[in-house]
Amino acid sequence: MEDEIIIKLEDVAVFQKEMLVLSKINLEICKGEFVYLIGKTGSGKSSLLQTLYADLPLQTGIGTVAGYDLHQLKTKEIPYLRRKIGIVFQDFQLLTDRSVAENLHFVMKSTGWKDKKKIKERTDQVLDRVGLQTKGFKMTHQLSGGEQQRVAIARALVNDPEIILADEPTGNLDPDTSYGIMNLLFEIRNAGRAVLMATHNYSLFGKYPARTLSCENGRIIQNN
């Protein structure tokens, strides 16, 4: 069904400033789908994700993400698009001078939440979802790497997004911790969201099989 397509790209080119990184991209990602994005360092994985969340402008082609036309997107609309996208980075990008709960509150306030009671309720919900219900008061530097990544995922979930874009979310984690993060991402997928995950960690594919897109020679190849 057309309305279940969360990401649709037609003949899209991705640029970093003036440099062409990827071209002739055609792909669809649907609600409830998990998709890996693989490729060598510098092959364009992060640039594609940055285009999807409007950090890089879409210059050529047709692209829609969560109902927003990337080509026609106005600067003032970008925060509304990003409410429908949860972004998870390899290096967590948490605020180190704030508690776990305050990291979530910062994102919520910057995306329009005002009611303190609702902010607290939603914070408790997402921390419970990622298994950190007792850690909201802790400073982020007091957590393990796996716990910090769970905070990053909780932060990505606060606005109940339609898609999670995860850029090497297990890149800094040991294998057991990586499996915990993957289980969490697949639970999120099973709840009806789409997940697009850029990764170098091919050892995950056997345990967590999913459709794979590969960045090769300036193109996106559909592997399966």
Top-level class of domain 2-84+161-222: alpha beta
Query: Residue 1: what pLDDT?
Result: 42
Output the six-digit token pair for 149: 């990544």
pLDDT digits (tens, 9 = 90+) for 147-176: 999 999 999 999 999 999 999 999 888 999
- What is the value of pTM for the model shown? 0.93
Phi-psi region of 166 (alpha: psi -120 to 50; beta: other; left: phi over 0): beta
pLDDT at 202 over 60: yes
Query: Residue 3: what pLDDT?
Result: 53
Q: Rg (Cα) of the chain, in Å, rounded? A: 17
pLDDT at 132 over 50: yes
pLDDT digits (tens, 9 = 90+) for 91-117: 888 999 999 999 999 999 888 899 999
The residue extents of the domains of the chain are: 2-84+161-222
Percent of the chain with pLDDT over 70: 98
Q: How many CB atoms lie within 10 A of CB 153?
A: 23
Q: Can you tell me the mean pLDDT for 2-21?
A: 89
Query: Residue 111: what pLDDT?
Result: 82
Q: Can you tell me the mean pLDDT for 10-16?
A: 95
Residue 34 to residue 193: CA distance in whole angstroms: 9
The residue with greater pLDDT, 2 or 22, is 22
pLDDT digits (tens, 9 = 90+) for 49-95: 999 999 999 999 999 999 999 999 999 999 889 889 999 988 888 99
Indicate the average pLDDT of the chain: 92
Which residues have a Cβ under 8 Å from the Cβ of 78 and sit 6 or more positions away?
A: 54
Query: Residue 172: what pLDDT?
Result: 85
Report whether 55 contacts 80 (CB < 8 A): no
What are phi and psi for residue 28, nearest 5 degrees? -130, 140
Max Cα-Cα span within the chain: 50
Query: Residue 35: what pLDDT?
Result: 97
